Every structure is written in structure tokens, then in C-alpha cells.
Structure 1
Amino acid sequence: MPVSLSVLDLIPVRSGQTSADAVAATVALARRADALGYTRYWLAEHHNMPSVASTTPPVLLGLLAGRTERIRLGSGGVMLPNHSPFVVAEQFAALEAAAPGRVDLGIGRAPGSDPVITALLRQSGHTSDVDEFPTHVRDIEALLAPEGAGLRLSTGEQYVVRSTPAAGGAPELWLLGSSDYSATLAARLGLPYVFANHFAGQGVERALDLYRSGFQPNERYSAPRTFLTANVVAADSAEQAEALALPQLQHMARLRTGVPLTALDTLEQAATTPMTEPQRELIAGMRPRWFIGEGGEVAERLQAFADRHGVDEIMISPSAAASAGDPIDATPARERTLELLAAALPQRALAAA
């Protein structure tokens, strides 16, 4: 069967855009993914980045729930150490009530920002201890169950806690990561798992092997469930795709060499932006791990990637940049990536619809 396709969105903010423009572009992209039969649409959590507007996945997912019809919506992910587990459970229980059967809760252990912002996020004292991450994942799973969770008070009395008064169902819980730790923990807890291949790029074989070989079956999941992420730019020609990928590649190179970040460049800006030798080397190292090219060729490579790792779903991070003349509240090249891939892999896309 052709690989199933999903979308991971960081809500990129490009030069000249406001946050409102970027969010409007994401709404349009999510609606297009919904219409094309994509399986999921996930939003990442990042903070204080000039090029990323996906700061609060639960709030933004509520917006998308009202503007889409069938696609699953989720976090990729909520960075749990920044939040109270009970608040996370309440937020996603509310989303499940608003869009029954369509909500995924992806949880990660990384902070999603620099140390200063991490300190700001945690200064209220209501966030979770990163050392208690496994326990808090289990707590959220229990709190999201329709029957709720039971707490034993110091008096010995049993106290019932529910994330919503009368749940009809629960979000699907996924553990996210890019390390042996997350793969091993997902296996031990018997949870679905996603390896963040789009930014890790290495270690996927080992992580999937650890997850699959160590998976502990349970009442909800009798076998491991997993998929992979990938940076993707598909266009009508290979030359066009390379140009569309350049701004994001340059942006990542600047990030990894400690250059202060700005909004994403347009194609025209990227074409005239000088890069240092270390930045050029980083781009050369990243480029082979990205899926960039003409739509049909990219689809073939994604299918081969899925087959090689034994997964039936790929979550693409559509990384095509914008031209200066594009509408300020839309991302035509990102939409075109979704259209070309859905056209090249129609059986699975139609089945998902």
C-alpha cells in the first residue's frame, strides 16, 4: 500500500509577515491537507523564535478543529516539562470534546527553547519535573481516561480526578523523541512512538529497533505503532524545489552556528544571502537527509523510506519557502507540496479520507 501522509507544522513566520498572517496561512494549509486526505495535522511547541508561531499547540489546535472536518489534529509535541500534567490533560480532553475521535496528544521531554525562556515557563512552579517525565506521562494517560484517575489522600480516602466531567473518548497519546531514552520509554509504557527524524537525521534504525523489540503490549495497544517525520519540499521541477528549500536550509545553518535568528527569508532574499564556510558545510550535510525535488520523485523516495523502515505513515514538515509576491496570509509552495504528494500517492490518501 502507498504510504499514508501527515503534516507537521511549526507555523513559519516569513519576512514581512505578522503572527496573524502566519496563523492564517496555517489554517489554509490545514484545510488543504484535510481536503487532500492527509491523516494528521500536528503543531510543534517552540518559544521565543522569530520564525516560529506555534507557541501554544492546544490553543491553535482549537482553531483548526473548527476549520477542518476529518483530519486528525495533534501536538508534535507538547513539551511536558513546561507544563502541569493535569493542565495538559484538561486542555486535550477539551479538544477531544470539541473534535471527538480526531485528537492526538504527542508529548516530548525537551524544553522547546533556550534556557532563559525555559526558566520563564517554569517560574510559576506549576510545571512538571523533567526527572518525573515517565510518571507524568502515565498520569496524563490515566487522567484522560473516561473513568478518570484515583488519588489516595493522606487520610486514606480515595479521590477521583477527571480531566473533563463526562468524557466520551480520549485523545490518542504518542511519545515523541530523537534518542534511545524516548524509544525505550515508549516501549516500556506500551505507547505509540514517533522518532523525530526531521531534525535528528541519525539514529532512526536503532531507535525503532529499541522500540519494537522492547514493546510491552497492553489492553489498548497489542503491538508497537510508529511513524517517521521528514523535511520535504516538492515542486513542479527539481530546480524549483531546490530554490524553495534554500531559505529553510540557510535558516537551520544559522541556528546551528549561533547566529541571531530572524523571520524566514523569502526566495529572493535567500538567493543573495552570503553564507560562511561552516554554514555551507552544514547545509551540505543536511541536504541529503531532506526530500527535495519534483513531486513524483519525492513521493517515490518517501515510499522507499517508509518501506526501508517498516512504517506505513510519514509525517512531512513542508519546508518550501515563499516568494516576495506571494499572498501575505498564504503559503502557496507549501500547499503545492501537499498537492503533488497526494496526487502521486492517491490510494492511501483516498483511503485515509
Structure 2
Amino acid sequence: MTAPRLSVLDLVPVRKDQSTSDAVAASLALARVADDLGFVRYWLAEHHNMPAVGSTNPPVLVSLVAGATERIRVGSGGVMLPNHAPLVVAEQFALLEAAFPGRIDLGIGRAPGTDPVTGWALRHGAGGVSDENVLRFPEYVDNTIAMMDAAGVTMTVGGRRHELRATPAAGSVPTIWLLGSSDYSARLAAEKGLPYVFAHHFSGQGTAEALALYRTHFQPSPELAEPRTFLTLNACVADSADEAERRALPQLLTMLRLRTGQPLEAQPSIEEAQKTVAAGIPDGHRGVIDAMRAAWVIGAPDETRARVRELADSFGVDEVMVNPIAGAYDGTDPRRAPGREETLRLLAG
């Protein structure tokens, strides 16, 4: 098995010792490490109203990361389109592509990425992420793509035809990806001939089925002749397996709170996470942690690199996007994430 190409998914995690400014600075430092190591792309997620996640606005973060790096592709992983007007997204990413030509990816998802109240607020209280927005998702995807094209679109309003472009003179357009965690997006990406990514890092279940569905039903398009996809993974790598397990604890406990309906908090330090585990995890929660841990890649360099190659081969991909989930010890520089940076360095070999 050959080693797959590597990319990064970043949720801009916020530790208890960090301000949002610190967390963004740590992510920019991480992006520069990925750029120096030759990683293929660096994607920023969209999540809202979460104490441990700072990636609320992918276009802003994409601009910051692209400006702080030199060659790596930068994109959204992804923009949750039901939260936004298609023209707004098209304008944002058309400008990003104009500023950083050939380096921008627009990953589009259908999930809200937040709770219902925040979803309502995202659209200025005008209905929030309604069922209609979700049902019209395929239309919104088409509109976003068409508006970014140099030719734009023609709309008829009030009996008159109007030309509409996301930017006056596009020289190129971002690469559009559809993202999902169900069969729906796999079918839609196949139908439209778009690249597709299944959120394996989120659940670890259903990936093979979704990719098989996408590949089987793929219809070639002017933009893409054959199916194109990659694998996403949560990973934590350290010099020893024991150290990697320690560094993974804060994220495991943060995700446990999310999945068991507990109040969310900023990410704890490694020492705080160890104390929580030592005090005892409820029996009913142990299985949740074990299931998450089994789907993540955690360990020493040789074993994790081998596991990444094995998973890439198993799912038939030549690229793996890693969400580096290592926590930090008390006293760590709040504007750096050394465990996350080391995960990238050790995986790259």
C-alpha cells in the first residue's frame, strides 16, 4: 500500500485556557505547519453556538488561512447551505477564488450545524433553517455554482430579464464539493457529477455504503469525468501510544458531552480530563467513549501511519483528511496547539 496524500480538517477547537483570538492564532500556526509539510488542502468547518468550537464562519477563516499560507488549497468543510442565501455564498467564494486563484475549495453541506434557535437567528429570525430550505438544497447548490461562473445567470423578475453574477469578471471558480453523512448527499453528488466526501470522522458508520452508492451512480459532468472522493478521520499521534491516548482524552470527553446531551463547555486540559476519567465515567457512557475511540486513529507514528494507509486502501481513496484532535497540557502557550501540530508532523513522516 502506498501512503495516501494528507489534508487537514479544522474546527478551530477552543480550550478552557484560550480566548477566541488564541484559538484562531493556534489554527493559523497549524495551517502553516500543514503548508510546510506539503499537505494537500486545509478545510474549515461550520458550527455555531458551541463553547469548544470556534469555526463559526468558514469564508472568514478560509481568507485568514489562505493569506497565512503559500501553496496549500484552502476551503470550507463545509458551508451549511440551508443557513445562507446562495448568492451570499457565491459572492464570498468567488472573491476568495479571485484573491487566491486555484487554491480555493467550496465544500457544501445540508445539515444546520447548530441548534434550532441558533439556526433561526442565522437568518435574522426570518424562518431559520426551515424544512423548505432543506428541501430546496439541490436548487440552492445549482444556483450557487451558476452564480460563480463568469457567465452568471439570467433571472426573470417582474417580466424583465436580469443578469446576475457573484463577481464582475471571474477568471476561475472554486472546486465545488458536496459533503454529507447520509445517502442523500452521495446520490445528489453522483447525479450532478460533483466531488463528494462522506463525514467518516463524525460517525465512522455507513462510509463504505455511501461511497459505493456515489461511485455506482456517478454521472460524468463537464467538471468531473470520474468519481472523486477522500476519507476523513479523527487522529491523534504522539511519540508513544500512551501519550497519544492521554492527548485524545479532552476531545473524547467533549464529544461525550455532546452525544449524551450534557451542557457543553470549552475543551478541558489533559490534566483535567485525566481527573474526570479517574473520578469515574458512568457505565452508560463508557460504551459511547469506546465506540468513538474505536473509529479514531490514536497511537504512535508507525502504527497510525499504517492504520491510515489501511483505511485509505479499504475505502479506495488516495487522500485522507485528518482532524487532529490532540488536547493540550496546563501551561501550554494558548496561541499554539503543539499536540495538533505534532500529529501532522508524525503522520507526514
Q: TM-score w.r.t. structure 1 length?
A: 0.95
Amino acid at match of 2:27: T
Q: 2:114 matched to which residue of 1? A: 113
1:159 shift after superposition: 2.2
Going from structure 1 to structure 2, the CA distance change for 1:253 and 1:127 (only over 3 Å counts) comes to closer
Going from structure 1 to structure 2, the CA distance change for 1:285 and 1:45 (only over 3 Å counts) comes to same
* Residue 133 in structure 1 maps to residue 137 in structure 2: yes
Q: How many residues align?
A: 342
Q: Provide the C-alpha distance between the structure 2 equivalents of 1:105 and 1:85, rounded to a whole number of angstroms.
A: 12
Q: 2:74 matched to which residue of 1? A: 73
Tell me the secondary structure at the aligned position of residue 272 of structure 1.
helix
CA offsets 1:160-185 (integer angstroms, 9 cap, x no match) = 21111111100000000010111011
Q: Provide the C-alpha distance between the structure 2 equivalents of 1:257 and 1:301, rounded to a whole number of angstroms.
A: 28
1:277 shift after superposition: 1.7
2:177 touches 2:197 (CA, 8 Å); kept in 1?
Answer: yes
Q: 1:241 matched to which residue of 2? A: 244
Q: 1:182 matched to which residue of 2? A: 185
Tell me the secondary structure at the aligned position of residue 101 of structure 1.
coil
Q: Gapped runs of 5+ residues in structure 1? A: 344-353
1:153 shift after superposition: 3.4
Q: What's the % identity of the aligned pairs?
A: 56
* Residue 151 in structure 1 maps to residue 152 in structure 2: no
Q: 1:315 matched to which residue of 2? A: 321
Q: 2:38 matched to which residue of 1? A: 37
Q: Provide the C-alpha distance between the structure 2 equivalents of 1:277 and 1:255, rounded to a whole number of angstroms.
A: 17
Amino acid at match of 1:145: D
Going from structure 1 to structure 2, the CA distance change for 1:31 and 1:77 (only over 3 Å counts) comes to same
1:84 touches 1:127 (CA, 8 Å); kept in 2?
Answer: no
CA offsets 1:309-342 (integer angstroms, 9 cap, x no match) = 1101010000000011211110000000000111
Q: Provide the C-alpha distance between the structure 2 equivalents of 1:250 and 1:65, rounded to a whole number of angstroms.
A: 31
CA offsets 1:214-240 (integer angstroms, 9 cap, x no match) = 011011111110011000001111010
- Divergent runs of 4+, >3 A: 123-128
Q: Provide the C-alpha distance between the structure 1 equivalents of 2:338 and 2:126, rounded to a whole number of angstroms.
A: 42
Q: Provide the C-alpha distance between the structure 2 equivalents of 1:36 and 1:127, rounded to a whole number of angstroms.
A: 41
Q: Provide the C-alpha distance between the structure 2 equivalents of 1:144 and 1:152, rounded to a whole number of angstroms.
A: 18
Going from structure 1 to structure 2, the CA distance change for 1:68 and 1:299 (only over 3 Å counts) comes to same
1:127 shift after superposition: 7.2
Report the more deviating stretch, 100-109 or 248-257.
248-257
Q: 2:288 matched to which residue of 1? A: 282
Q: 2:221 matched to which residue of 1? A: 218
Q: Gapped runs of 5+ residues in structure 2? A: none
